[in-house]
Amino acid sequence: MNQFKTVALLGLLSGLLVAIGYGLGGSGGALIGLIIAAATNLFSWYSSDKIALAAYRAQPLTPQQAPELYAMVERLCQRANLPMPRLYVVPTPGANAFATGRDPNHAAVAVTQGIVKLLPPDELEAVIAHELSHIKNRDTLTQAVAATIAGAISYLAQVMQFGMMFGGGRNREANPLGVLLAIFLAPLAATVIQMAISRTREFEADAGAARLTNHPRALARALQRLEGSARQAPIAANPAFAPLLIINTIQRQAFSNLFSTHPSTEARIQNLLRLEQELGLSA
């Protein structure tokens, strides 16, 4: 169900990009929207890992620096039938982790210094399993594509706004009211859709981690600890890459369900406990 929802949301996001392109220049603008969508997806496919790692100032981690972590990741990769990803450490006391890369053969997993110190081994293993599930499901590519399409929509909306302000780029095929709605509502709608995609992938990765470790409760405990840590020591980075993190670092406010990159921790924990019962595992 989550896979179907993700595909539908990505289709809706791409359709929104084409629609705003049509508002910018009629049929020709729609074609421009399609070209931009293809170009941004291709760029994301090749560069998502480098951009994300640079955004968090992640540094390569060698087996000599973290032998226990390397052994843990290798064990989980063998169990999940995945190639070994590159490992990175983010120099921050905030406790978090993320995965990135265009496919399992070009993947990377980054952990913060804070998460390694905070979590006991079984909970850290559950977090790593969550990130490997993202890699196996190619969520890192999905989220990067969603982010770049949403960014392209915002850019085109700004182009339309400047065009109206200076009287240029008028399109006789376009409805003026539709153009106004595209300028102000399309970026908002794109953000809402992008966040919805991120939330569906988090639920799927949680379930994948629970099955990979056969210990859903370990991830549930880790999420509780990480949420408490995120409030005390949030990670400062580009909000565009917040969906990559295992736990949301932005405080929830009004309409948080619409604009949150992650489901609520309570909902994720309840989902994991239900899965524990379905798998017939003891507490």
Q: Answer yes or no: are the C-beta atoms of 180 and 244 closer than 8 Å.
A: no
Amino acid letter for position 152 = A
- Which value, in Å, is the radius of gyration of the alpha carbons in the chain? 20
E runs forming strands in 113-185: none
Q: What are phi and psi of 99, to 5 degrees?
A: -120, 150
- Secondary structure of 219-242 as H, E, C letters: HHHHHHHHHHHHHHCCCCCCHHHH
Q: Which of 90, 108, 99 is nearest to 235 (CA)?
A: 90
Active-site residue, from 68, 74, 125, 131: 131
Q: Answer yes or no: are the C-beta atoms of 193 and 54 closer than 8 Å.
A: no
266 is an active site residue: no
Known catalytic residues?
131
